Amino acid sequence: MSADGLSDDEVRQILISADVFAVVGASVKPDRPSYGVMAALVAQGYDLQPINPGNAGQMIHGYRVRASLADCTPPVDVVDIFRNSDAAADAVEDAVRLKTALGITTLWMQLGVVNEAAALRGRAAGLTVVMDRCPKIEIARLGLVPKTAARPSR
């Protein structure tokens, strides 16, 4: 079982219902994992709100980088955290604080990011928590079709 305890059906439902990912720790550098995952999310039909205070104002895959989650515009369905396990707690606190304002439903901690206390905090706030997984990998593993193909009216 995975660190988050979610079933394939639960992960599938998150990925099918989400439209917008806020990517905390987004990088403008093509050799960074977040850059490739964001490219895959765009190809899959998701909208992005990249977040990195050091790159605020720059563009990644056609999306302007924001300095913080507080700078995002609603809706944000999933907060995808590309930070180390300790730093994930700050991103979770921001997401919990902005949950209602942005419409956040899911916290997604990337591969190798496991923070049980942060996960408990997110769950206590009513958020679904995915941990130690990559949406790019899960999309391929679950055989999900691009949203643009699944929802041609979009």
Strand ranges, E, within the chain: 20-24, 47-51, 59-60, 63-64, 78-81, 106-109, 128-130
- Domain residues for 72? 8-143
What pLDDT sits at residue 1?
Answer: 58
Q: pTM of the prediction?
A: 0.94
**How confident is the model over 84-104, as pLDDT tens digits?**
999 999 999 999 999 999 999
Instruction: Answer yes or no: is pLDDT of 154 > 70.
Output: no
Confidence of residue 151 (pLDDT cuts 50, 70, 90): very low
List b or e across 104-130, with b for residues whose CB sees 16 or more CB atoms inside 10 angstroms.
bbbbbbbeebebeebbebbeebebbbb
In a domain, 148, yes or no: no
Residue 128 token pair: 């679904």
In a domain, 152, yes or no: no
What pLDDT sits at residue 3?
Answer: 84
Number of domains in the chain: 1
CATH number of the domain where residue 133 is located: 3.40.50.720
What pLDDT sits at residue 62?
Answer: 96
List b or e across 82-103, with b for residues whose CB sees 16 or more CB atoms inside 10 angstroms.
bbebebbbebbebbbebbeebe
Instruction: Answer yes or no: is pLDDT of 113 > 60.
Output: yes
**How confident is the model over 45-60, as pLDDT tens digits?**
999 999 999 999 999 9
Closest CA to 37 of 15, 53, 9, 57: 15
